[in-house]
Amino acid sequence: MNEFQPIDSKEGYDPTQDPHCIPCLDHGFVRLVDTMGDDACIVQAARVSYGQGTKSVRADRALIFYLMQHQHTTPFEMVEFKFHCRMPIFVARQWIRHRTANVNEVSGRYSVMEDVFWVPSLDDLRKQSNTNRQGSVEGEIISEPEAREIQKSFQDDQQKIYEEYQHYLDVGVAREIARANLPLSIYTEWYWKIDLHNLLHFLRLRLDAHAQKEIRVYAEAMAHFVKEKCPSAWAAFEEHQLFATHLSQSETKLVAEVMEENNLWTKVEEKRLAQLKNEEASETRIEREIADLRRRLVKTF
């Protein structure tokens, strides 16, 4: 284990004051509680089959890139992250769909739910998209004074409902029943532990522009910790997954046709070769990458 101690069990402990805590939304956070392993651990696992540990930093990084590119995923499962997170329930509903994590959430049966609610800022009051039924339009927001009225109505309703909740508890209603009328905007908390392979899968989905902004901010906070702890794995993830693209068969055919008509295959190969030389890639890697590129570019024909 490492420097992250279970200090949160101390009385009066405020997680938001922890240096490993990143605030999210108005009252939420992602706090890195513990980690196991790093880039070296990925390399160590990958090389176990022929009894060698880490080599030079450069060779280790190249191996991590190779593993990521070819989806040799199990070495990435050797690294683990444990987070303590606080988020509104509507964010938790989306988050919990990622089944490969271990979760322990605060219990509304055992504890009295705290009076902490998410209130949209004026910028958060995005308009419904007409083209994407599931989404909003980034940058297009409800204008004032309507926006301020909506914000106030969120706050008034939350206060009223929380007062009712307290009243139910005061007259003896069980916590498990009293909490049933609380809104999706109330905050919940959990411990969330996941291996790096599955965390990157989560981040690929939840950093994407299609993901709701309110969960994206949590993904960004976790990405910060991954980048810090596993810089090579993160760089390989950016290169081969996050900023890579996937084309359908029809799209691939279209691109290939245009490339063929304009005799662009050779140009792409030449440019990729120059890129690899610029990166001072080894001869073996250049040979492998160019052959691989050729195979992928022409595979549909």
Ligand X SMILES: Cc1cc2nc3c(=O)[nH]c(=O)nc-3n(C[C@H](O)[C@H](O)[C@H](O)COP(=O)(O)OP(=O)(O)OC[C@H]3O[C@@H](n4cnc5c(N)ncnc54)[C@H](O)[C@@H]3O)c2cc1C
The site that binds ligand X (CB under 6 A) totals a number of residues, namely 10
Q: Using the rule CB under 6 A, is 203 a contact of ligand X?
A: no
Q: Which is nearer to ligand X, 204 or 294 (CB)?
A: 204
Least gap, CB of 103 to ligand X (angstroms): 11
5-to-2, 33, 139, 177, 196 alpha-carbon distances in Å: 8, 8, 41, 35, 21
**Of 10 and 99, which CB lies nearer to ligand X in the complex structure?**
99
Q: Which is nearer to ligand X, 95 or 187 (CB)?
A: 95
Find the part of the chain contacting ligand X (CB under 6 A) among 8-16, 65-73, 204-212, 223-231.
Answer: 204-212
Smallest gap from residue 201 Cβ to ligand X (A): 5
Tokens 């060779």 -> residue: 59
98 binds ligand X (CB under 6 A): yes
Residues whose CB is less than 8 angstroms from the CB of residue 138 and which lie 6 or more positions away in sequence, other chains included: 126, 209, 213
Stretch that binds ligand X, among 12-20, 97-105, 158-166, 279-287 (CB under 6 A): 97-105
Active-site residue 285, yes or no? no
Token pair, residue 166, equals 């307290």
- 5, 16, 74, 100: residue in contact with ligand X (rule CB under 6 A): 100
Q: Which of 162, 198, 233, 256 binds ligand X (CB under 6 A)?
A: 198
Surface-to-core class of residue 98, CB atoms within 10 Å of its CB (0-12 exposed, 13-18 middle, 19+ buried): middle
Stretch that binds ligand X, among 7-15, 92-100, 161-169, 260-268 (CB under 6 A): 92-100
Instruction: Assess contact for 35 and 2: CB atoms under 8 A.
Output: yes
By beta-carbon proximity to ligand X, the closer residue of 201 and 285 is: 201
Long-range CB contacts (< 8 A, 24+ apart) of 105-112? 105/188, 105/189, 105/190, 106/188, 106/189, 106/190, 108/175, 108/176, 108/179, 108/182, 109/174, 109/175, 109/176, 109/179, 110/175, 111/175, 112/169, 112/175
Of 12, 14, 97, 280, the residue at the interface with ligand X (CB under 6 A) is 97
Out of 36, 142, 205, 235, name the contact with ligand X by CB under 6 A: 205
Tokens of 4: 């992250």
Give residues 206-265 in contact with ligand X (rule: CB under 6 A): 210-211
Contact 64, 42 (CB under 8 A): yes
Catalytic residue ranges = 206
What are the residues binding ligand X (CB under 6 A)?
A: 97-100, 134, 198, 201, 205, 210-211
